[in-house]
A and B are shown apart, each in its own frame.
Chain A
Amino acid sequence: MKKKILLDSFLFLLVALISIGVTSCITGQEDTAKNCDERLITVLNPAISSRMVERVPLAPRIDTLEGKTVYLVDLQWGGPKAAYSVFEEMEVWFSRNMPSVKTEIRRSSGGSFGDDPALREEIISKKAGGVVIGIAG
């Protein structure tokens, strides 16, 4: 009788241990996952592919900014004064280091998310040498 109880207890313990092992494989508790370490499993890939879009080449560069006009366009992220002095400091830098460069600071009326067609037209019509646009985020 005592032997049978011991055997039953052993079998119960064995079943319980196997159950814990199987459960850990299914539920994936990392601390007990050693039981299923060797088994290879296959799962679906959560990542989503991106698709390429048609490329448009970058506008040709000029050789030098010397004697050219550079537009400094503030997108007004954070408001009209939030980053304006970035462009004022750029202007100071050009006047000190490349005095032949003419700078025009503008605020984009479209802000950070919209367009400013009038400003684009002005930049094109004035044949600007370059445009620095910022600063967002």
Chain B
Amino acid sequence: MGASGVNIVRFKDYDLQYSNGMPIRYVAFPFPVAGQPRSVHKSYIEGKDLLSGKPMMQAIIDALTMPLTDEEKKEGMPAEAAPEPRLLEPDTEVNLRRLFKEREWTDFNPIILPAEERAAEMLKGTSHQPDEVVSKFGSREMTVEKAAIYAVMAGAKPEYFPTILATLTQAPSFGNSTSSMANIIVVNGPIRKQLGINSGTDVMGPFSEANSVIGRTFTLAGKIMGDLRLDEGAYSSLGSNLQYNNVCIAENEEALPEGWEPLHVQMGYKPTDSVVTIGVGWSYISSVGEAQINHPPHMMFRDYMRSLTGMGATIVMDPTVAGLLKETQGFNTKAELSEWLSKNVEVAAGTYWGNGVNTTAMTPMALQGMEPFATWLKVPPETLIKPFTDPKAIQVVVAGGGIQTTWFVTDFGLRRGVLIDKWK
């Protein structure tokens, strides 16, 4: 733009300078900044820059006035960075295991070392070529062969591989945010039965190899592709235990009440298609006990959803809950339930804006006059608003063994499902 610039960052710098083609001069503040009292901000200004160790304002002035270094004057394509070799140097198993841990290529549960022959066996699970790109993250491209490596490491069988590949098209959506995000993976269609992906009793528990391994692969791939290492790119303040498996479940399509379509059919796929759907969110709240007649499940969903951001929700319910909602409350489709929740979930405007994600994401829109955010920002904080403006952002997944009328309300925002059959 012509003016000298300096950026303020809050996390440990890790050589971002050329990620966008332009070197940028940074200073770094301590954590946390947002929402802290002015006295804390003053102490940061009077304190030191975490990168240079200089007094903060001196560091800012230097960043704005010090002559450019030769490095900062460079233009054009730099020499190609040394590419990662396809194979690691031969070593003993113990040393390789140590290396994988040191590089944080694991979730620190035991892994299968990705020997070539194991990856070759995994590649037999798909007709796609090893060098085909599955997903991109910046300039990093995850190929089918890399995906096979992660699948081997997680303990996958070759028949899982098409589902894993479809899942990894959404990588590295791993929820690497200071706000400690997580993912959900929902599988629909005939592949559920073919692979034995659990959709019934204990669907969310550690009782199914396919659920366990497919979910784990997504985490290993996301960590490695994103080069997420503790305090070196991974900076969620609390993190999320859900990241070990990403709530990998299948929908119990056979137990859906009549008129309630499977998730993938709602998205426009055929019932005979096999589809995996990925969601991103934070929260996961249990009904704890069984449904009650005097305050039925849809009212409890409404009450629980007051705690969520309003951007999206996914309700995972046992088939017995779905049956109750249809037979006793008259919800003939999932869409009718979503519509009802969209109209009936209300929160105080102050509560809505008290959520940091809402404030960060929606305030710019409110300040630009976009509705309903502009109005919500102006009204008194006690005014009730309906934050779930889009019923389609409220999804319903029916899963579980029909043993108890339990459910989870989550704020996972589901993306469009990915066709697994394409990756066979």
Contact = CB atoms under 8 A, between A and B. Distances in A.
Bin chain B's interface residue count: 35 or more
7 contacts: A42-B87, A79-B356, A79-B360, A80-B363, A86-B8, A131-B1, A135-B33
Interface residues of A, number: 76
Given A61-B68, A131-B5, A46 B224 contact: yes
Interface in B57-109: 57, 60-61, 64-68, 72-81, 83-88, 90-94, 96-97, 100, 103, 105
Contacts of A58: 22-25, 68, 72-73
A52 B22 CA distance: 11
B80 A51 contact: yes
A80 B25 CA distance: 24
Given A47-B224, A83-B33, A120 B1 contact: yes
B18 interface: yes
B38 A89 contact: yes
B87 A55 contact: no
Contacts of A78: 33-35, 356, 359-360
Nearest to B172: A48
B114 interface: yes
Interface in B9-58: 9-11, 18-25, 29, 33-38, 41-42, 44-46, 57
Contacts of A113: 361
A55 B74 contact: yes
Contact of A46 (B25, B150, B356): B150
Contact of A132 (B60, B149, B235, B368): B60
Nearest to A120: B1
B25 to A, nearest CB: 7
Given A25-B93, A59-B5, A86-B44, 15 more contacts: A27-B112, A28-B111, A33-B94, A40-B92, A41-B92, A41-B115, A47-B84, A49-B84, A52-B18, A57-B68, A60-B68, A78-B360, A109-B364, A131-B4, A131-B5
A61 B78 contact: no
B67 A61 contact: yes
B65 A114 contact: no
A108 B41 CA distance: 19
A62 B3 CA distance: 9
B8 A42 contact: no
A50 B367 contact: no
B109 to A, nearest CB: 12
Given A49-B84, A86-B33, A88-B38, A41 B6 contact: no
Given A70-B64, A89-B38, A123-B3, A76 B360 contact: yes
A30 B94 contact: yes
